[in-house]
Structure 1
Amino acid sequence: MVFYCQRHCYETKYTTKVVSCKPAKIDVVVDGKKKKTACYEVTFEDTILFPEGGGQPDDRGTAGGVEVVRVVRRGGEAVHYLAGGLEEGATVTQEVDWTRRHDHMQQHSAQHLVTAVADNLYGFATTSWYLGEAVCHIELHTGQVTEEEMAKIEDTANQKIRESTPVTIAEYQASDPRLIEIRTRGLPEDVVGAVRVVSIEGVDANMCCGTHVDSMADLQAVKLLHTEKGKAGKTLLFFVAGSRLLSYLGECVSRERGLNTLLHSCPADHTRLVEKNQKELKGAQKSLREALKDLAVCEAKTFLGVEPRPPAFFHHRHDGDNDYLSAIINEINDESVLKVLTAGEDKGPGILVVHGPPALVAQIGPRVCEILEGRGGGKTRFSGKVTRLGKRKEAEKYVLGALNGSVKET
């Protein structure tokens, strides 16, 4: 079935009747996790709300003033999931979220255009595409798309946009022999009724169920962003078009202004200054590592010079790392000395190393790690990642108690 939304892509309101309404539950993503949500499953005589299909997400909007949270196609029906129920047989007005709809129309039509141009120029067939929330990508059946090829595809596509190339939609019966000549990746098995063919004049004709612009001029422009290696010798080509391109450009300008302030420079100097800062940062990090190593040696020597020597060496440094702790162990160079070393945020997460007599390490390491709320392992050297370095005093008290207990036992 071809729905009202597919024949009238630019309309935003439509009055129709409720055919059925029943309670239902659907998965809704909340904070990145799927959650079962109660709603109502509603069908209408027809709909202005596009059900997901052809790589295009579904529309959002209202029906009878009730929020529509999802629309899916089930055979020849468009099934709507609403936040509230509607009376069966009632006449209601559907309203589509035009900003979302128009964005999807622009991206989908841009995909048809870029797909056709890439195929016409270089024989790069599109095997799939994805309409993301921020950018879209096309999967091309080629192992590589060069910068020169990207530039040519983009320039050719934008020329068709500047020419206001018309876009038309025709309907055919599924048995019509003319469909054999039209490029497509195949019809869905559950297709019902007429088959829609979207044509970009002089460029492309392709079977598609999605909503589209009526002129390439509505895209304003298309920008190819970059490529990534896909699966099995394929390449992902990323793009934005229309209002999404303007938003993308606005975000780039905002970031550019921020960099102007941070780098005290104009955009032309950003790359050079960032590379300079990275080089200086690497040098500073190297110097810091060397300074920490020297400091570790000093800490170890200070401990070794204490008389009488304490039963254990407890040490923590907030800006230390594994190399720093290892330097202390290497400088003391005595396995008979129990060393309980930590590094990281004074009251937050960090690392733990317990080194010394194997029997003591095996006994004390896991318990200290437990007190500091972490996980780890090891025999002569117990290493772990912990989350509560603020409990170091509690861990130290346990270690000293354990040592006193072991002395009494001997």
Structure 2
Amino acid sequence: MSFACQKNSYLKEFDTVVKSCVQSELKTGKKDVVQGFEVILEDTILFPEGGGQPDDRGTINEVPVLRVTRRGAEAVHFVTKAIEAGTSVHMVVDWVRRFDHMQQHSGQHLITAVTETLNLGEKTSFIELDTPKMTEEQMQTLESEINKTIRQGVKVFPTLYENKDDPALAEARCRGLPDDHEGPVRVLAIEGIDSCLCCGTHVTNVTDLQVVKLLLTEKGKRKNSINLHFVCGDRVLQYLGRAVQVERSLNVLLKGPLEQHFELAEKAVKGYKNSNKTVQNLLRDVASLEAEKFRNQSDKPPYFICHRKEGDIDFLNTLIKELNDESLLTLATAGEDKAPGFVMMSGPEEMVKDLGPKIMELLEGKGGFSKGRYQGKANKLQNRTKAAQLVQEAAKTLKQTPSEP
């Protein structure tokens, strides 16, 4: 079946009749499920997902359509309100979403006639090309030719073939028909440039693409292929708008214009790395001092508890290494109270194995025992006072022996 949206992709409203309505459900996430109904109409202007193009959104008698899928020759519309069979309905398409898909999809056909994989993303799209690389110069040449064609106003039109064995179909590019395909075969042509089997919605003239901007290339999934990312039409303006916002923010942050951003950012990164290295060295010194301070106590308890919000896992490792006392029950934590942090315990093996999971439960984290230590990440370090109390209670059974200074 060829739907009304495929015969005329510019239809924004449409009247039809409900053929069936059955109760169903729609999965919107791993666990989220929406209860509703599957509605099949005599015809539709809402395109069901297929051929790499996402499905449309819109309404049926003002009832929002949450998903449109194809089942054989039928388009299945998922709604949350029942619409009885035989009901005459008025459909309205979400035109902003539809026209965006038309621009990106037609743009893909224009960019290359050798594309084998199409992906229309939310902000940018990409096509997978059978070439191991594309230089900047080649991208500029291709982009120039594409936009030259747009200015020439080349027509785009579909042709329906009732017989899938029609010899004319052999001249069109094809990735193969779906196993459950029924009805006529649709070929989308860009006059004098490309002819391809395609079920999607398209513009009728390449001038509706407005402009195409090629963004970047990356390695494709297949051997010797690349993904070429691009934006068409209104997405170019959206992309440019985001780029301007980022540029203005970086002008303030880096204290320099766009032309100097790379140089200034590189300088800032080097400065950060040097500062971070200095902080790490200072934290190791602090860990050594904390351990020395404990060792120098005249009446040391059989436990050691330490927290430093500026610390990290390296700080904890240094601290326990400097203490160097397997008989000392130690609980060390690092990080901000309201942010994920690090936890490390050492001491008598059986005691640490027993206390570790209890401590992590209090701190809402996960960890494990390895090489004489129990360590992990915690999400609620503000509970460390309670964790310290557990350690102090457990340490009462220990008999502290003096450590070597």
Asked whether the two chains share a fold, i.e. TM above 0.5, the reply is yes
Which deviates further from its counterpart, 207-216 or 66-75? 66-75
Matched-pair contact (CA < 8 Å) for 2:36–2:80: yes
Partner of 2:282: 291
Is residue 2:188 matched to residue 1:198? yes
- 1:98-124 Cα offsets, whole Å, 9 max, x none, are 1111011001100111122xxxxxxxx
Match of 2:218 among 185, 209, 228: 228
TM-score calculated relative to the size of structure 2: 0.91
1:363-402 alpha-carbon deviations (Å, 9 max, x no partner): 4444433433332213522222223322222222222222
**Paired AA for residue 115 in structure 2:** T
Matches of 1:363 and 1:54, distance apart in 2: 56
Provide the residue aligned with 1:166 in structure 2. 155
What per-residue deviation string (whole Å, max 9, x for no partner) do you get for residues 325-375 of structure 1?
Answer: 222233333434333211112355322222234454344444433433332
Alpha-carbon displacement from aligned partner over 1:4-25 (angstroms, at most 9, x marks no partner):
1111111211112222223222
> Structure 1 pair 190/384, CA: closer, same or farther in 2 (3 Å)?
closer
- Assess if the C-alpha contact under 8 Å between 2:36 and 2:79 holds in 1: yes
Count of residue pairs brought into register by the alignment: 397
In the alignment, structure 1 residue 97 sits paired with structure 2 residue 88:
no
Match of 1:81 among 78, 81, 84: 78
Q: Which runs of 5+ in 2 are unaligned?
A: 401-405
Checking the alignment, whether the CA contact within 8 Å between 1:376 and 1:385 is kept in structure 2 is: no
SS of the aligned residue for 1:126 comes to coil
Cα distance, 1:218 vs. partner? 0.6
The answer for the alignment partner of 2:55 in structure 1 is 58
Partner residue in 2 for 1:9: 9
Contact 1:358–1:379 (Cα < 8 Å) also in 2: no
Matched, 1:385 2:377: yes
Alpha-carbon separation, structure 2, partners of 1:210 and 1:109: 9
Secondary structure of the structure 2 residue equivalent to 1:392: helix
Q: Aligned partners of 2:395, 2:79: CA distance in 1, in Å?
A: 66
Give, in whole Å, the separation in 2 of the partners of 1:24 and 1:2: 25
Give, in whole Å, the separation in 2 of the partners of 1:158 and 1:34: 45
Residue number in structure 2 paired with 1:376: 368
Alignment match, 2:234 = 243
Q: Which amino acid aligns with 2:193?
A: V
SS at match of 1:16: strand
Aligned mates of 1:34, 1:209 — CA distance in 2: 31
The answer on whether the counterparts of 2:50 and 2:200 sit within 8 Å (CA) in structure 1 is yes
Q: 2:160 and 2:360 mapped to 1: Cα distance?
A: 69
Does structure 2 retain, via aligned residues, the 8 Å contact 1:154–1:222? yes
Change beyond 3 A, Cα 1:397–1:142: same
Instruction: Give ranges in structure 1 of 5+ residues lacking alignment.
Output: 117-124
Query: How much has 1:206 moved relative to structure 2?
Result: 0.9
Q: Distance in 2 between matches of 1:175 and 1:387?
A: 63
Question: In the superposition, relative to structure 1, how do residues 389 and 79 fare at CA in structure 2: closer, same or farther (>3 Å)?
Answer: closer
Q: Which amino acid aligns with 1:127?
A: E
Q: 1:208 aligns with which of 198, 213, 216?
A: 198
1:120 alignment partner in structure 2: none
User: Matched residues in 2 for 1:5 and 1:345: separation?
Assistant: 55
Q: 2-side partners of 1:242 and 1:42: how far apart?
A: 33
Aligned partners of 1:87, 1:102: CA distance in 2, in Å? Answer: 30
1:3–1:396 distance in 2 versus 1, CA, 3 Å: closer
Give the Cα–Cα distance (whole angstroms) in 1 for the partners of residues 13 and 188 of structure 2.
23
Rounded to whole Å, the distance in 2 between the matches of 1:23 and 1:180 is 42
1:71 to 62, 68, 73: 68
Q: For the structure 1 residues 178 and 263, does the alpha-carbon distance in structure 2 shift closer, same or farther, using more than 3 Å as the test?
A: same
> Separation in 1 of the partners of 2:81 and 2:348?
68
Deviation of 1:407 after TM superposition, in Å, equals: 4.3
Q: Which amino acid aligns with 1:158?
A: N
Give the AA of the match of 1:181: E
